[in-house]
Amino acid sequence: MTYTRFTTDGSLSEGLAGLAVFLYWSALAAGRIALAVLGDRVAPTRLFDISVFGALTSAVAFWLLPPPAAALLALPCLGAALSVFVPVLLYLTPRRIGSAAAPRAIGYQVAAGMIGGASLPAGVGLLMQSIDVAVLGPCLVTMAAVLAGLHVASTRPLRIRSRTYVRQLFR
């Protein structure tokens, strides 16, 4: 989608747009490798916070910066921010809800990720096709803001007995 966004309106050459996509995927891979090598030096909850709010910041930058900066700075930063999201989320799940309920919860997380991974790009692609390719920026910001909101909501203590309640959900 980013390649299409930058080449359809002529804001970047095909080569530069291709480089931007390469940098995104490279940052995603480098972030995962860095997590494997250096992950034990930073608290997982801190990494998760950095991931979520780094994604939000990068999405806003992608939307608002001029195309060359969005492509060569914001897009790789978005890849790096999202690189640790899934591994750290899966790592933190047993600590958040208990090890007994974790297998089911992780199954639900993976299923939700698969559904979102199929439906969100399709929906954004349809919006880009019917409205304009520039709608990608606001869509990324919206998705990142929802992610940040869910993260904040999930880290706030519940008024009910959270572990007991969550365990009952996953039985």
**Where are the chain's structural domains?**
2-169
- Read off the pLDDT band of 86 (50, 70, 90): very high
- Read off the pLDDT band of 141 (50, 70, 90): very high
- Contacts for 158 with CB less than 8 Å, ≥ 6 apart: 165
Among candidate residues 63, 61, 64, 55, the one with its CA nearest the CA of residue 27 = 55
pLDDT at position 122 is: 94
**0.75 exceeded by the pTM?**
yes
**CATH architecture designation of domain 2-169:** Up-down Bundle (1.20)
Q: Rounded to whole angstroms, what are the CA distances from 49 to 78, 154, 157? A: 14, 12, 16
